[in-house]
């Protein structure tokens, strides 16, 4: 990933304020493609935050999780369903515990087909494709085909959020907003503290 400081030269406070005023004056809006990636914790958590914020504004939201099974009942999914957010699973658990990776790949491809249906229906303001980078990096779905399809079919005002490690370069290039979570410390690695309700699930 490129450091943001390499892409955007520093602005003086006066220039920054002038830029903000110019942006506000244009009143430009569009549906964003947002990617949360990196090896740090919090990619899905941040994405769910967007989903909850949008739902709080009365916007229709849908979530497809590409590694978790349909009907999973983690804390964030319980909250999402209570808020009226559509949640579907398109996986059979974490890939490193899968007994049949071919079946995992089939589920991921079916999940992408379902995502395409939801996107084309244009009935949601926000769609979250949680852990969708994994099917791309594992080669279960073709990244170039995904990006080309999104370029041609994503409704103009739909906000599409994609999470997962190792986001492919073509997806990063296509996205409007990319955040890389960087691991600094982790309670499991440093202290042997296992995953806990309300924090990890």
Neighbours of 55 (CB within 10 A): 18
**Residue 125 domain flag:** yes
Domain harbouring 94, CATH code: 3.40.50.300
Q: Is residue 195 one of the residues assigned to a domain?
A: no
For residue 200, is it within any domain? Answer: no
In terms of C-beta density within 10 A (0-12 exposed, 13-18 middle, 19 or more buried), how is residue 109 classed?
middle
Is 89 within the bounds of a domain? yes
What is the phi/psi pair of residue 37, to 5°? -135, -170
153-122-77 Cα angle (round to 5): 110
All residues at 6 or more sequence positions from 137 whose CB lies less than 8 Å from its CB, including other chains: 164, 165, 166, 168
Please report whether residue 116 resides in a domain.
yes
Evaluate whether residue 13 is within a structural domain: no
Q: What is the pLDDT of residue 79?
A: 95
Domain span at residue 143 reads 26-181
> Do the domain assignments include residue 66?
yes
Number of domains forming the structure of the chain:
1
Q: Tell me the pTM.
A: 0.85
Q: How far apart are CA 54 and CA 57, in angstroms?
A: 5
pLDDT, tens digit only, all 201 positions of the chain:
545 445 566 888 877 777 777 777 777 789 999 999 999 999 999 999 999 999 999 999 999 999 888 888 888 999 999 999 999 999 887 655 567 888 899 999 999 999 999 999 999 999 999 999 999 999 999 999 999 999 999 999 999 999 999 999 999 999 999 999 999 998 877 788 888 877 787
Whether 68 is covered by a domain: the verdict is yes
């Amino acid at each position: 990933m490129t450091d943001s400081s390499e892409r955007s030269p520093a602005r003086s406070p006066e220039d920054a304020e002038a830029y903000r005023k110019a942006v506000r004056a244009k009143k430009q809006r569009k549906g964003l493609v947002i990617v949360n990636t990196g090896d740090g914790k919090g990619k899905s958590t941040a994405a769910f935050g967007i989903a909850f914020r949008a739902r709080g504004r009365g916007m229709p939201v849908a979530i497809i999780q590409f590694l978790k099974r349909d009907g999973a009942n983690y804390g964030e999914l319980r909250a999402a369903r209570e808020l009226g957010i559509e949640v579907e699973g398109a996986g059979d658990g974490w890939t490193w515990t899968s007994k049949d990776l071919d079946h995992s790949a089939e589920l991921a491809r079916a999940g992408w087909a379902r995502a395409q249906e939801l996107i084309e229906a244009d009935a949601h303001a926000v769609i979250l494709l949680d852990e969708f980078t994994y099917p791309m990096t594992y080669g279960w779905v073709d990244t170039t085909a995904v990006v080309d399809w999104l370029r041609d079919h994503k409704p103009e005002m739909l906000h599409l959020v994609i999470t997962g490690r190792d986001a492919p370069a073509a997806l990063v290039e296509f996205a409007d907003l990319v955040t890389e979570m960087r691991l600094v410390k982790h309670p499991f690695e440093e202290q042997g503290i296992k995953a806990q309700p309300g924090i990890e699930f």
